[in-house]
Structure 1
Amino acid sequence: MMTTEAIQEETPSDHFSMFSSQSAKIKYSFNKIREVKSYRVGELFSAYRDILWDDGRHKYNVSSFIGEIDEILLGERFSAFDQSTLDNLIGTLRQRGNSNATINRKMAALSKLLRKAHKMGDIHSLPEFRRQKERAGRIRFLEKDEETRLFAAIRSRSEDAYRLSVFLVDTGCRLGEALGLIWNDIQEHRVSFWITKSGSSRTIPMTARVKEVIKLPVTEGRRPKGPFTKLSQAQYRAIWNDAKAEVGLGADEQVVPHILRHTCASRLVQGGIDIRRVQMWLGHQTLSMTMRYAHLATNDLDGCVVVLETPRSEGMGGGTENSAFSSPLTTPTSAGPRQKSEAGTAKATKPAGKSSKAK
């Protein structure tokens, strides 16, 4: 007997091989009936993780996300992932203190996995994944004095960690991008990042101090594969946390290695670099990601103060030529048009004078 799941899996044309209105004969074909199986989220991840995600930090994070989701679902097996299951999952994550941004990252991993399983016929129903609204949080970056104190504390613990810190704050690259560099990625005055979160490579020029910190001290033994390959993420984070506590920043949860990327972006914007170039420098996929730093470009708004501080009578009488934002299209460029206008006005008033005399 044909199950409901199997019928849903096939299209009507698979079951009705022929229909004749004259003879009213219907022939059925059941050649493509398949057994409907059920799977755990963890089993699906084991089957498709190497296809969907490249090796690296992101794949490690996804593995952690899927493991937590499987634990919340109590290892339940399913052939269809319904909306109520997804809603309960999101509710549990929120009760555990996950922010909307964190929930979105975990749901993005789950959605990618389920869509692949659905395409391969492992599950026959998908829920609607809706992105949770994320609040624009305050972006923390290091002041110059904070950088000086923190880097000095890092240097006292590890010269390699210090070199890496300077590289991160002046290039704005991610920690994984820096650790993955090899010597061939550094050519003359530029550095290229190939192992990136977005999957797109980028090349940027180096500052003077970046050129200095990528030089390794002369030591005996085999040269490492890249300028920072002696360090692992775990080692660097441990050194960072110790130094952070020493300089009195231990209680600040936002002072993590990624703050160096924020610091670089903030300094570029505050220095007058336009948002599009900052996007290219950081390697953001979309401009909206870079727009988080746009509020720091306060120089573009300085003209507003001029307008507000101008006395109202003076501002109203001056016309558009006195505006801080006057445009070449609206501001007279010579006295010619104004003189012509005044002449026209004089002609217009002359006949009125004659009329008055006639009376």
Structure 2
Amino acid sequence: MSQDALQESTLSDRFAVFTSQNIRVKYNTGNIREVKSYRIGELFSAYRDILWDDGRHKYNVSSFIGEIDEILLGERFSTFDQGTLDNLVGTLRQRGNSNATINRKMAALSKLLRKAQKMGDIHSLPEFRRQKERAGRIRFLEKDEEARLFAAIRSRSEDAYRLSVFLVDTGCRLGEALGLIWNDLQPMRVSFWITKSGRSRTIPLTQRARDTVAFSGEGRRPKGPFVMLNQPQFRQIWNEAKQEVGLGADDQVVPHILRHTCASRLVQGGIDIRRVQMWLGHQTLQMTMRYAHLATNDLDSCVVVLETRPVESTNAAAVSPLEAAAPAVVKARKPRAKKASTAVGEKKRA
């Protein structure tokens, strides 16, 4: 065997030994998971306490998810495709849901599915497109409506009356007021810690609102100014009172109208939108802009510009601005013509 052949054979043998002894193929089966399918209701049971705090919002979300699970007929799935989502939106619209209501339900579903995907339960998600919402008319209480309604509430419950006054003068949500404790109240201000957006805010109190939270000192002081009430009790008193004063047929006269009333009065009183946003605790300025159309005083200066003012004239009849300007144009041109003719005459004499 030649020297070259011997060397080639030796290298080949060494390479074979190297590949057989030093290279190991490993198969890791620890990350392989069985693909499972879930119902929407099962996912909600698994993650509801992680994603949503206890309260009315969580109750509403539970209702939304229950309806969605019912529409899907309890179907189990490991992927949620675009067709399923489109059919779901179409069914909700056929049931009479407005675009605003559909957006709220889809927001809850999207939040749940994104959590499930992050945890590995769902492997693909559709694109959630926000439905276009129309700016609806905002209903607020006139002064006389407030007086009649509050009188009817007071005849039924002094505590419900105090709460109503506090709501309309602070613009807070019903749940925010009911959750107040005495530590949240200062002599001239109130701090809301339990809010829908999760952001606390502090606002000053009107004299009327301060009177509603003043503790009389009789008996044992409760935990907060309105803890003796809950939402169902207050709503029942509210509905009975509005029926008594002739507002029973108006489905927009609900406790939340007091928040709209407060915001409307602030804007109509000349408070700028940014401050109203801070007062109400809105997350985005867009939410507060619903009240911007009430700030009509900002447009008053436009009328001054558009008012027609007749031009003064020596004649008895009024002269239009165009007619008044015409003679001035003619006079301005005559001197130029006279100068030109004089120059021509001098040239001829020369």
The question of a shared fold, defined as TM-score above 0.5 by the shorter chain, is answered with yes
CA distance in 2, matches of 1:208, 1:353: 80
Q: Give the aligned partner of residue 247 of structure 2.
A: 249
Q: Give the aligned partner of residue 18 of structure 2.
A: none
Query: Do residues 167 (structure 1) and 170 (structure 2) align?
Result: no
Gaps of 5+ in 2: 1-22, 313-319, 322-334
Per-residue deviation at 1:353? 8.7
Per-residue deviation at 1:119? 0.7
Q: Give the aligned partner of residue 281 of structure 1.
A: 279
Structure 2 counterparts to residues 1-359 of structure 1, below 5 A: 29=27, 31=29, 32-220=31-219, 222-311=220-309, 359=346
CA distance in 2, matches of 1:126, 1:169: 43
Per-residue deviation at 1:83? 1.2
CA distance in 1, matches of 2:337, 2:26: 99
CA distance in 1, matches of 2:41, 2:284: 31
CA distance in 2, matches of 1:206, 1:159: 20
Residue deviations 1:163-222, cap 9 Å, x none?
Answer: 0000000000000000000000001200000000011100000000001011244432x3
**Please, what is the CA RMSD of the aligned residues?**
2.4
Quick one: which amino acid aligns to residue 133 of structure 1?
Answer: K
CA change 1:351–1:98 in 2 (3 A) is closer
Per-residue deviation at 1:63? 1.1
Percent of matched pairs sharing the same residue? 82
Per-residue deviation at 1:138? 0.2
> Helix, strand or coil for the counterpart of 1:191?
strand
Per-residue deviation at 1:30? 5.5
Per-residue deviation at 1:352? 10
CA distance in 2, matches of 1:29, 1:100: 51
CA distance in 1, matches of 2:339, 2:60: 90
CA change 1:116–1:312 in 2 (3 A) is farther
Gaps of 5+ in 1: 1-24, 318-349
The alignment of Structure 1 onto Structure 2 pairs a total of residues equal to 304
> Helix, strand or coil for the counterpart of 1:45?
helix
> Helix, strand or coil for the counterpart of 1:203?
strand
Whichever of the two has the greater Rg, that structure is 2
> Helix, strand or coil for the counterpart of 1:187?
coil
